[in-house]
Each structure stands twice: as structure tokens, then as C-alpha cells.
Amino acid sequence: DTAVSQTPKYLVTQMGNDKSIKCEQNLGHDTMYWYKQDSKKFLKIMFSYNNKELIINETVPNRFSPKSPDKAHLNLHINSLELGDSAVYFCASSQAGYTDTQYFGPGTRLTVL
């Protein structure tokens, strides 16, 4: 059974389009995260949600909007895609405790042309 899953695995789109990436976890965790990994492999947190409530919101353009319909899902919607949005996006989840292990999904490689 996949613990943290993301769809799609690959996403190729044109500048200016709007796209969504979905994330689901079946671990019963309370907290979910979105990270962005750039071409140099630098991994940076974007958002975190705890029980559907936004906890962390880094300095991310407001074109990025996370949505958590329930605590098992955290989707990422991106409006007006730009070339610089090309990256691998990882979803992760953990229990509520801050040192609890974060389990990462397999990533979504977004390419903006």
C-alpha cells in the first residue's frame, strides 16, 4: 500500500495555464506538507496543514493555493504558470508532533514550456 501518493507523476504544460497536483496519505496523519525541489536539488517547504488548517505558509507567490478537503488530502493548485515554476513538487505527511517523521510522496515533476 502506498503511504503518500501524488498525481500526476509528470506534468508538462504551457506558460499561463492553471494546473493542480493531488496528494493523498493513508497513514492517518494529521499534518501534510508541500515542498518544492529545484533543478539544483534544493528542497524548500512551501506549506503545511494540520487537520485542514494552514500552519506554515512560506513566501510563496499567491498563484499557489493549497487546498485540504480533509486531513488525508492536500492538493496544490497553481495559477498562471511561469517558467520558474518548473520543479519537482513533493507532498509529505506526519503525525502532529513536530519531530515526528515526515513521509514523502514520490514527487510530481512539473515542466512549464
Partner 1 sequence: TQLLEQSPQFLSIQEGENLTVYCNSSSVFSSLQWYRQEPGEGPVLLVTVVTGGEVKKLKRLTFQFGDARKDSSLHITAAQPGDTGLYLCADISNTGKLIFGQGTTLQVKP
Q: Is 102 in the site for partner 1 (CB under 8 A)?
A: yes
Among 11, 23, 25, 33, binds partner 1 (CB under 8 A): 33
By CB under 8 A, tell whether 104 contacts partner 1. yes
For CA atoms 38, 42, 2, 101, the dihedral sign is negative
Contact range with partner 1 by CB under 8 A, out of 17-25, 28-36, 69-77, 79-87: 28-36
**Interface residues for partner 1 in 41-100 (CB under 8 A)?**
41-45, 48, 55-56, 90, 92, 94, 98-100
Where along the sequence are the contacts to partner 1 (CB under 8 A)? 4, 31, 33, 35, 40-45, 48, 55-56, 90, 92, 94, 98-102, 104-107
